[in-house]
Amino acid sequence: MAKTRKWRWGKNRWIILALILLNVVGVIVAKPTQSIIAIAPENLSSTPLFNLPGIGPVYLTNALTGMVVMDLVILLVAWIVNRNIKKDTLIASGFTGMMEMLIELLYNLTQTTAGRWTKKIFPWFASIFIIVLFANLLKLVPIFETFGLVEEVPSGGYSIVPIGGHWFNVTLPAIAQGGYNVIPFLRGVSTDLSFTAALALISVFMTQVIGIQAQGISYFSKFLNFTTMFKKPFFGFMDFLVGILETISEFAKILSFAFRLFGNMFAGMVLLILIGVMVPVFVPSMIMMFELFIGLIQAFVFGMLTLVFMAMATSGHAEEEPAIT
């Protein structure tokens, strides 16, 4: 019979105590300073990387570097899991087993909701869920919104102490006139409205694509329904109004998706910054655990709404048609 490992408080309490003491010592040695709270991501380059017609110059921002780091982490995780799966092991364990369990859970959830359209919807649902999950979790890593470029500000900045070369340590107290602030190299990508809006556009657009694949040209009848306009004028007019409301609701989904994720993640970032400055011992750790929970919930909500909307877009399709492969 296989033995299971159990948490032993007597054996692990010293680890917890050491982490608590490390937290206390850390905030005494390097007291936290309030980072820049800006809705828009900060530029790390003074010159644009390139120009897009109709949009304008595109700069290197800390949200863009955060997205690159997130993509690299996802690719690394995929490579590790793929390498371990190729080994001659019948049962995956450890990190690979956890990822396999997550993918299986997402697939079963898709199959329960979407039925025979699972193979079409699952890649989009799983991809969006994993991207949002990693985006929300990585913003809790200490290197995010911590290290960056020192910028001189006219008021409300902090003192700086050289620590060697071009490196400086931003220290308390704040200076009324002048001073310096830090523009972090990495920012949580889910706190950038451009990222959440892009995911929302992808989700809503692919919902329409899957709806057309499932129902053909008749899919557009829910937006422009003239079939009963002349036979039953009153009900036909009502169907026409319902179609207009359906069209408005599709655009409203983009705003709902984008601002829900952005609002929750940006509020969490601001809360962590303010609590870390005002009450730097113990409390930030609890707020971070709460942020971890919120990040998981938001990833699940964003993914599930995408799954549900895609599954609804396939409704009305003939049941006798073969399953999509």
Residue type, 58: V
Neighbours of 192 (CB within 10 A): 24
Cβ–Cβ < 8 Å for 98, 294: no
The closest alpha carbon to 126, from 253, 314, 306, belongs to 306
Q: What is the pLDDT of residues 136-182, one digit of tens each?
A: 888 888 788 778 888 887 776 777 777 777 777 777 666 667 778 88
The closest alpha carbon to 312, from 112, 114, 116, 129, belongs to 114
Helices (H), 87-168: 94-114, 118-138
* 139 Cβ neighbours under 8 A, 6+ residues apart: 66, 145, 187, 188, 189, 190, 191, 265, 269, 295
**Rounded Cα gap, residues 224 and 239, in angstroms:** 8
Cβ–Cβ < 8 Å for 74, 271: no
Q: What is the pLDDT of residues 200-213, one digit of tens each?
A: 999 999 998 998 88
**Rounded Cα gap, residues 172 and 231, in angstroms:** 76
Mean pLDDT of the chain: 79
Q: What is the pLDDT of residues 83-126, one digit of tens each?
A: 887 776 666 667 788 888 889 999 999 999 888 888 999 999 99
H or E element that contains 66? helix 62-86
What is the b/e burial string over 240-269, where b = at least 16 CB atoms within 10 angstroms of the residue's CB? eeebeeeeeebeebbeebbebbbebbbebb
**Rounded Cα gap, residues 74 and 82, in angstroms:** 12
Most confident of 97-111, 215-229, 267-281: 97-111
Predicted local confidence at residue 92, as pLDDT: 66
Predicted local confidence at residue 123, as pLDDT: 92
**Rounded Cα gap, residues 205 and 214, in angstroms:** 14
- In percent, the amount of the chain with pLDDT more than 70 equals 76
CA 253 to chain centre: 17
| pTM for the model | 0.78
Helix axis angle, 283-313 to 94-114, nearest 10°: 40
Structure confidence at residue 69 as a pLDDT band (50, 70, 90): very high
**Tokens 């910054």 found at:** 273
Predicted local confidence at residue 318, as pLDDT: 43
Question: What residue ranges do the domains of the chain occupy?
Answer: 56-147+188-325, 148-184
Most confident of 45-59, 121-135, 238-252: 121-135
Structure confidence at residue 65 as a pLDDT band (50, 70, 90): very high
